[in-house]
Structure 1
Amino acid sequence: MMDKGALFGKYEVGRLLGCGAFAKVYYARNIKNGQGVAIKVINKKKIVGTNLMSNIKREISILGRLRHPNIVRLYEVLACKTKIYFVMEFAKGGELFAKVAKGRFSEELSRKYFQQLISAVGYCHSRGVYHRDLKPENLLVDENGNLKVTDFGLSAVNDQIRPDDGLLHTLCGTPAYVAPEILTKKGYDGAKIDVWSCGIILYVLTAGYLPFNDPNLMAMYKKIYKGEFKCPKWMSSDLKRFLGRLLDTNPKTRITIDEIIRDPWFKKGGLFKEKGPEFEFSFYHDCYCEGMDDKFYFVKPDHDEEDEASSSSSSLNAFDLIAFSSGLDLSGLFNGSLNPIVDGEKFISASPADKIIESITEAANSADVKVCKRKEFIVDLEGPNGNFVARVEINQLTDDLVVVEVKKKGGDSDHYNNIWKKKLKPKLADLVYDSELHPAGEIGAPENSSDQVSVE
């Protein structure tokens, strides 16, 4: 059940769209602009101690860097003490799986969806992202009949590739869609296994059933490993040939994305019809830049010191709130490492910015540290003889909360530890916001938020 009211004062939550073991997805409406969205609600208590924590971190990280018309967009992430809310693009048409379950598609319609799928997958690969769980259940359709790739919880990025062999090694995916090289457990190329899964999807769309299927899992794996499948008689010869290249059991000779977009079967109609010869190059490289919202990203772009000093609060959002929210530590997403000297320290405060600066100034004066105010919410701290230089930057997170970030700007690490950690930081303890002391309805969270969207 769900109480009436607005989630975080921003969304009116409506009907249940789907549910799983750890999350439920609801339809909601943005109160400000009336836009329909899907909100995935994750119960933090149920995922603590499971490998799903890393999946959630990965999905947030990956979706934060992707902007493509055929990838479901993550608008923002909200959080309270017990739950995480993914506010996502709503695909009114539902799962592609539900549509193909009613009967196979024509080659023309299958080609349209496949072109959009390859556009999205190629875009991901160009940014070092490999989905690793492509299947019709993870493909949605919007109100205009356009495909949307979703569910990046099992995705991988270039950082996960082993330097010794240049391959990924984590075993994942859905049995009927996994590539044969995954079964060998010797490592695999993320781009190659995505292409294989795309081949399975194309076969399902045009045949109406799986190419490799058996009630016995091991028997099915043997068919996949050997590449034993037959195309139905209604498929065209060009499609049969194309599927043979997609479902090549040898990853070294399997067709690549660049080769796919030049294949005769693939190029018929659809996306190439109106774009002309230059579209082959731009097919998945930066094919969607208009309307990008930079403030969404939780990783700030590189900038010089002056840009850093004038950065605004718009560069922070609820990703930071999740990082500090009890029960699920996502701080690794924001700091890149856990070295407070190199990457700085952050804490959330419910105190006004001027009160925070006043407290920092008092603490600094008692430690013989000079305070230099550079901008309205940025101060530099300098110790005797320049052996300690740090910057304190205050950014508005919500109407009631701010993020205070402290970074070492000069001097040596010993003096930084001695002055900041031992003399200044302890005197600022009262400024730190403690979510355990504030019920969900008080600061930065909706009233009765633990019950507003129930995850059982």
Structure 2
Amino acid sequence: MMAVGAGLTLDEASKDTMLGIPYVPDLRQTLNVCRAQGGEKVKKALKKVGDYVLGDVLGEGAYGQVREGLLMREGDEKFGQRVAIKIISRRLLRKVRNGQENLKREIRCIKKVKHKNVIQFYESIDEEERDKVYLVFELANLFSVQDLCDIQKQLSATGQGLKDPITNEVCTDGIPLTYAKILFSQLMDGLQACHSKGVAHRDIKPSNLQLTSDGVLKIIDFGVAETLDQFDDLDDTTKFAGTPSFQPPEVAQGARTFSATKVDIWAAGVTLYVMVVGSPPFTGDSVDELYKNISKMEYKLPERGDEQLNDLIQGVMHPSPESRLSINDTLQHPWCETKDLPDMRELLEPLAHEEGKKKQSLLRRYMEEMSDEEGETDETDEDTNNIDEFRLLNAEALSGKKTLQMPWVQKNHQENQKSIISRFQSNLAGSDNNCIIS
């Protein structure tokens, strides 16, 4: 079995991806594999930061990686709690314009919002010796809405698909409408909480909406969020931020000022469209072409959408910010009624089942290491510098909008995707939950 990282096999990487932890090759693991192939013995040991033990890599961003963590603070009632730890290189922050100010703003924004549909921030740890900052967050332990859409798309390619528990419709375009209705309502609840605290997210999209095994949606990544004056009726901003394909016409047309909250509502509408259709309403071979298409407002309403759904999409994606639905109007829209719908936890249970088996894996590894007298192998300064340079050279990564992939492991990552669906199907083959997949 081919190794794709120190201590991680191709089969295991596929499993993690299937379970909603996007497999992003760990750059340090890649360097260690290169050493191992050269004959040098490598020992990977768990690292400890503050009161936390660091585990597997969950993702890779502009300024560093996100890892699973485990709270090991003696006497704490939350001892053993799993968390997500965002590791940020101060060295890289110093090279990026306003990098340190952006980090402070992100922390300020996310600390202001306490809501079940917004990822919670616990604490920050500044380690001068390692020249790194560690941000500790609540762990949303399943996968993102984008991952769910990708799973559905890959299932459809095999002639199968997720089945709507209400209509029994086998979906071929996007996720089941029942799923989309529940998730969109949770998204709007979370956005309402943000806006009520004077925080505009500015980068709402499926990949920034993480799910838990309890079926709860969490808005994540406040890296470009902005604080607004809660006592000012105007929420105008002059700062462009976010992902181009989720920008509204006023931004695409180059407006000097625009409503930050109405940008969020538009992006939520595009996210709903992606969930229902499986692809964004506007595309283009370049940003200029994309913005021209957004400005024209020419898109097809979902073929499987009913009158209420299409009315909602047109309302949250109205070309005029003034006429665009507010969050309150959106939540009161008839299509957003979720009272008699199934529990999202039950719908996601087949996907969450295998993930549940991993819950104690990091704790087990920690306890095993405590009985091991050998020390950990520290990374070298050269390793750290090389990895930061790889990130710095990726122009897309500096905006935080593109996940960094190492070119020599990209092929393996693509091959992993081919096995995800077969593993997913085999896991569900013996299930009696036939309302999920057909």
- Which bracket does the TM-score occupy, shorter chain normalised? 0.5 to 0.7
Show the counterpart of 1:94: 143
Show the counterpart of 2:109: 62
1:190 to 254, 257, 260: 260
CA–CA distance in structure 1, aligned partners of residues 377 and 233 of structure 2: 51
Partner of 1:102, secondary structure, is helix
Deviation at 1:49, TM superposition (A): 4.1
**In the superposition, relative to structure 1, how do residues 172 and 271 fare at CA in structure 2: closer, same or farther (>3 Å)?**
farther
Unpaired stretches in structure 1, ≥5 consecutive residues: 274-445
* 1:171 counterpart = 2:218: no
Q: Letter of the aligned partner of 1:57 in structure 2?
A: K
CA–CA distance in structure 2, aligned partners of residues 449 and 150 of structure 1: 29
Partner of 1:230, secondary structure, is coil
Deviation at 1:116, TM superposition (A): 0.6
For structure 1, which segment, 134-143 or 17-26, has the greater mean C-alpha deviation from structure 2 after superposition? 17-26
Preserved CA contact (<8 Å) 2:204 2:267: yes
Show the counterpart of 1:303: none
* 1:138 counterpart = 2:208: yes
**CA distances 1:285-318 after superposition (whole Å, capped 9, x unpaired):** xxxxxxxxxxxxxxxxxxxxxxxxxxxxxxxxxx
CA–CA distance in structure 2, aligned partners of residues 100 and 258 of structure 1: 26
Correspondence 1:430-449 to 2 at 5 A: none
Q: Letter of the aligned partner of 1:44 in structure 2?
A: R
For structure 1, which segment, 97-106 or 262-271, has the greater mean C-alpha deviation from structure 2 after superposition? 262-271
CA–CA distance in structure 2, aligned partners of residues 176 and 166 of structure 1: 22
Partner of 2:151, secondary structure, is coil
CA–CA distance in structure 1, aligned partners of residues 126 and 107 of structure 2: 13
Deviation at 1:10, TM superposition (A): 1.2
Show the counterpart of 2:353: none
Partner of 2:280, secondary structure, is coil
CA–CA distance in structure 1, aligned partners of residues 127 and 181 of structure 2: 43
Preserved CA contact (<8 Å) 1:7 1:449: no
Unpaired stretches in structure 2, ≥5 consecutive residues: 1-27, 30-43, 74-78, 153-173, 344-375, 389-438
Show the counterpart of 1:246: 316
Preserved CA contact (<8 Å) 1:212 1:229: yes
Large movers: runs of 4+ above 4 Å: 163-166, 270-273, 446-451
* 1:41 counterpart = 2:110: no
Correspondence 1:186-225 to 2 at 5 A: 186-225=256-295
Q: Which has the larger radius of gyration?
A: 1
Deviation at 1:52, TM superposition (A): 2.6
Preserved CA contact (<8 Å) 1:168 1:188: yes
Percentage identity across paired residues of the two chains: 30
Preserved CA contact (<8 Å) 2:202 2:224: yes
**CA distances 1:295-351 after superposition (whole Å, capped 9, x unpaired):** xxxxxxxxxxxxxxxxxxxxxxxxxxxxxxxxxxxxxxxxxxxxxxxxxxxxxxxxx
**In the superposition, relative to structure 1, how do residues 52 and 254 fare at CA in structure 2: closer, same or farther (>3 Å)?**
same
CA–CA distance in structure 2, aligned partners of residues 450 and 120 of structure 1: 41
Deviation at 1:164, TM superposition (A): 12
Could you say what the CA RMSD is over the residues aligned between the two structures, in angstroms? 2.8
* 1:235 counterpart = 2:235: no
* 1:7 counterpart = 2:48: yes
Q: Letter of the aligned partner of 1:258 in structure 2?
A: N
Deviation at 1:214, TM superposition (A): 2.1
Show the counterpart of 1:359: none
Show the counterpart of 1:383: none
Preserved CA contact (<8 Å) 1:77 1:85: yes
Show the counterpart of 1:85: 134
Count of residue pairs the alignment pairs up: 282
Show the counterpart of 1:125: 195
Preserved CA contact (<8 Å) 1:227 1:247: no
**TM-score normalised per structure 2:** 0.60
Show the counterpart of 2:185: 115
Correspondence 1:301-312 to 2 at 5 A: none
Q: Letter of the aligned partner of 1:136 in structure 2?
A: P
**CA distances 1:12-59 after superposition (whole Å, capped 9, x unpaired):** 111111113421111111124111111110000111142332221111
Point out the structure with the larger strand share. Answer: 1
CA–CA distance in structure 1, aligned partners of residues 99 and 336 of structure 2: 36
Point out the structure with the larger helix share. Answer: 2
**TM-score normalised per structure 1:** 0.58
